[in-house]
Structure 1
Amino acid sequence: MKEILEVMKPGLSTSIQDTGRIGYQKYGIPTAGAMDTFAHRIANLLVGNPEEAATLEIMLMGPRLKFLQDAVIAVGGADLSAAVDGEPVCPWKSFRVYTGQILSFGKPVHGTYAYLAVSGGFYAETVMGSKSTYAQANLGGIEGRILQKGDRLSAEDKNLKSIRAGRYLKKTDIPNYEQHRPIRVITGPDISAFSDTIYQQFLQESYRITEQSNRMGYRLEGKALSHVDKADIISDAVLPGTIQVPANGQPIVLLADRQTTGGYARIATVIAADIPQLVQKKIGAEVRFLSVPLERAHADYLAQQRYFKILRTAVRSEE
């Protein structure tokens, strides 16, 4: 374990995240983990890490970080105007930094969450199989909280200087967070709580992401969705992308830090392949939904897994 950087300024909300706490929802423990798992996994692969290694999740206003030793790093996800010693750096590409250099972030260009990966992966205590920060319960990360000024972060044991720099994601594979295509959903499981007319309204109207949105869920505002009877159901399981509709008729899309069960009718679920596109939208952005068959959701998920398999193979062939 080697100290790799010091936090000079923490930014708006910067935390250690990995792919989450899997297998503990039955005990009421949320999975947490990266909001945009695609960007998180890509950033890790660019620096030769396993996809599940811990990264820094950086929200909108990024930190100022001083490197305490040489390393290879990559920034994926939102373009938050990253720079090293004031010189802009290319996102979605690994590059070498040297002892004493400063990584900073400026004006958000597009997207909300950026991911900083370092060769070796960030070190943090593993809690229930994950290093992810779940701040509501002070689990994981650095003392279960977001980063603070003066924190010193370490990398897992690895020869940081031997990692190859210069890997990059093809332009055609870089997500376009500014595109305005609808977010795809599958219906239910409480679709019977809504009339056909109301479900069509849900698909035809646009919704604004409100200021009350966070890692637990995005609260949306638009034309209210009414229930056939009532909003409450017997508390049942919720997933990443579950869309609840409480009594006020305003949808809530549950995300990484969501609770494990919920008591509001679930009108739809965002498909796994589209969650990154949703979470990268900024507060105030408009969202529309498109219903797709379950088979489409499965096919896109499997296509994404095949894509990562190809990338893993390519990385291993270079080592």
Structure 2
Amino acid sequence: MRTSAIGDVTHVVPLIRTLQEKAPDTRLTWIVGKLERRLVGDLPGVEFVTFDKAAGRAGVKAVRDALTGRRFDALLHMQVALRSNLLSLAVKADRRIGYDKARSKDLHGLFVNERIEARSGEHVLDAMASFIEPLGLKQTAVRWDIPVPDEAHAWAAEQLPGETPTLLVSPMSSHTVRNWRVERYAAVIDHAMARGMRVALVGGPSEGERALADAILAAVRQKPLDLTGKDTLKRFMALLARSAMILTPDSGPMHMANAAGVKVLGLHAASNPHRSGPYSDRRWCVDKYDEASRKFLGKPASEIPWGTKIEKPGVMDLVRVDEMIERFEACATHLGLHLAG
């Protein structure tokens, strides 16, 4: 059970792939959020039970009804929020595997009868992978292969035709304090477009994302493509397949991009990229987490609990435009892109 959020659900996919490879006769049921199912709900060989948290008690009842009369050998209880702990009561399972005590909260320990090994300094994906270790398995390779339908690829090809190197800019995190300043996004976009990159703004249909996109469009010298609110999760995956890089703060799109093999120009100050940055390749991120820890908490990152979020007003101002442009140029060189100027 991992119902949300998009980034964390993305981290579960390699665990599913590992189970399918190493225990192929195992029947898998995944309790997942309504939105998140739109991304992973077509993974082959997996039964999905949708949890609609917006539906309140009716959403819990729907999960309970779907599982009535069933019993499982094991529940991997991979979410510690109180809502999820209560939802887990809908699952009748002999083994209820949860987080170690250090990573538990909201009475999580009352809802499990086994715990994963206590570890610190892990990336979130590795922590989730450890849930299969009590089953005698170990994740030794990481594979996503999230299906993308032909319709989504066709739509993406219409938006991003040809072979022009493309930079996607996904400027908004659900934790708004992680967002960069409008003028800084605009400066990187202007630089990339001056170098001949095609740039596309992407984001969801919310009012906040629309407002942020409009502010960036008003601040740039050259207008990028504006695809804000026009895609779906699957169409976004298809856009990634036609892109070289993405500029984004710590967010769901960051982890979707990593799963798709796209280089991530990550903006990190409020969160630790070694815990929650792009899993496969963090070379193109700007990491100001230690500097943020020293400024806002008065001590280096090595002296604060692993996973501490430094979500303080102004924390993202520590990431400078010239640092991100330097990472953009280094990544372009690594990819062998032949840019103008």
Q: Taking structure 1 as the reference length, what is the TM-score of the superposition? A: 0.31
Higher strand share: 1
Choose between structure 1 and 2 for higher RCO, CA contacts under 8 A separated by at least 6 residues.
Answer: 1
